[in-house]
Amino acid sequence: MAAIDFLLVHVSAEQQNNRVFTMAMGLLPLANMLNQTGIQCQIIHTEVEKRLDPNFDLSVFVKKHNIRYVGFSLHWHFQLFYTLEEIKKVKESSPDTIVILGGLTAGYFSRDILENFTDVDFVIRGDAETPLAQLVGELLADNNQHRLDHIANLSWKDAEKIIENELSYVATSDDLNRQNSGNAPLVAHYKKYYLYCGGTFYYNIGRGCPVNCSFCGGSRLSQVILNQRKGVICKNVGTVIEDLKRFREHGLDHWYTCFHPFPGKDSFYVELFEEISN
Ligand code: B12
Ligand code: SF4
């Protein structure tokens, strides 16, 4: 296996009737972005690994491969306990490993997490693309003078003080258009992972939501609070087609989406599906 500079991890959760198995969709483009800048990044889904090898232990994997940076995706709140348990074990066996958290739940509870869980070094709140690239750039730079105060959306510790940099990076449609979301092999054992997801890949053509369902943590209002996102953003049809083609090249042609950006106006999807049928 090639050396891994940065590992992204999804930890599954099972609580009463709620099961969190699929990874946050945003992980694949993040991993791809890091790889494009020459940083070897891989995604590990701990439950997939355990199904393939019941003795799989993330902390052993991290130590064996001498992985210095591990990013945990804490998106769904059900994952909180399980993710922190894995982090504890990783830090026990590899104390020098730097742990970075991201995802909706991590972002909202960044201060509580940093205050109460000393094993977590950084939390990226909201959209992560530019902040993660900057953070990894700083951490990998060949000096000990890391400058962290300029990295948008970053929460970190300076001695015992918790510093929350401004939540000023909000991804734009142009950012999404530059992303490659379909590089499925970046997920270890991706064929098994997608098989366990019912042969389906989850992929949204944009971010945000135009409405406010009262129960939803991703509604228009929630997005303002969590991500500073004030409107919906969308990829253009051409780049969506490119992503779908990439998934297909990796044997994945069953797409599930959950995104309705323009209520009452179906022209985007009509155009997209016309393109797909061509
Ligand atoms: C699409 C969607 C789904 C899809 C696909 C989910 C997926 N695989 O990502 C499906 C239908 C499968 C789904 C299922 C569920 N969902 Co859902 N879903 C959404 C929805 C509508 C959109 C999410 C989205 O657009 N994401 C955008 C993508 C690109 O970004 P992302 O994946 O979040 O990743 C970015 C950041 O989070 C961050 N990031 C993520 N991980 C990491 C890790 C690191 C290290 C870093 C630095 C950054 C980082 O960086 C990424 C890029 O910026 C939201 C509501 C909303 N409008 O936001 C609810 C939402 C996220 N879902 C929610 C819930 C509760 C669920 C379920 C638990 C429901 C249930 N009880 O079964 C399940 C969980 C299933 C599972 N994981 O197995 C809640 C989460 C609330 C919470 N904080 O826990 C939301 C907010 C809706 C709600 N009801 O409140 N969901
Ligand atoms: S439409 Fe979906 S994402 Fe938007 S607020 Fe309602 S439940 Fe949440």
- Give tens-digit pLDDT for 52-99: 999 999 999 999 999 999 999 999 999 999 999 999 999 999 999 999
Residue 169 confidence (pLDDT) = 98
What confidence score (pLDDT) does residue 2 get? 76
- CB of 243 within 6 A of ligand 1: the answer is no
Rounded percentage of the chain residues whose pLDDT exceeds 70: 99
| 98 C-beta closer than 6 A to ligand 1 | no
Q: How many Cα atoms sit within 13 Å of 125 on the Cβ side?
A: 27
User: Looking at domain 6-164, what is its CATH homologous superfamily?
Assistant: Response regulator (3.40.50.2300)
Give the residue extent of every domain in the chain: 6-164, 193-277
Looking at residue 95, its pLDDT comes to 97
> With bands split at pLDDT 50, 70 and 90, how would you rate the model's confidence at 128?
very high
Q: What is the distance between the alpha carbons of residues 260 and 210, in angstroms, rounded to a whole number?
A: 8
pTM of the model: 0.96
SS3 content of the chain, % helix, strand, coil (to 5): 40, 15, 45
Q: Which residue has the higher pLDDT, 19 or 156?
A: 156
Is residue 10 lining ligand 1, measured as CB closer than 6 Å?
no
Q: Report CA(235)–ligand 2 centroid distance (Å).
A: 19
Radius of gyration of the chain (CA): 19
Evaluate: CB of 131 within 6 angstroms of ligand 1.
Answer: no
What pLDDT score does 166 carry?
97
User: Which band of pLDDT confidence, cut at 50, 70 and 90, is reported for residue 15?
Assistant: confident
- CA-CA distance, 161 to 145, in Å (whole number)? 18
CB 119 within 8 A of CB 91: yes
The residue type found at 67 is I
Q: How many C-beta neighbours within 10 Å does residue 193 have?
A: 22
For the chain, the average pLDDT equals 94
Identify which of 226, 240, 120, 123 has the alpha carbon closest to the alpha carbon of residue 171.
226
Ligand lying closest to the C-alpha of residue 169? 1
Ligand that comes closest to the CA of residue 204: 1
Beta-carbon contacts of 36 under 8 Å, excluding residues fewer than 6 positions away, are 180
pLDDT (tens digit, 9 = 90+) per residue, 223-249? 999 999 999 999 999 999 999 999 999
* Residue 49 identity: E
Contacts of 267 (CB under 8 A, 6+ apart): none
- Of the listed ranges 13-22, 23-32, 113-122, the least confidently predicted one is 13-22
Per-residue pLDDT tens over the stretch 175-212: 999 999 999 999 999 999 999 999 999 999 999 999 99
Distance 219 CA to ligand 2 centre (A): 5
Integer Cα distance of 79 and 60 in angstroms:
21
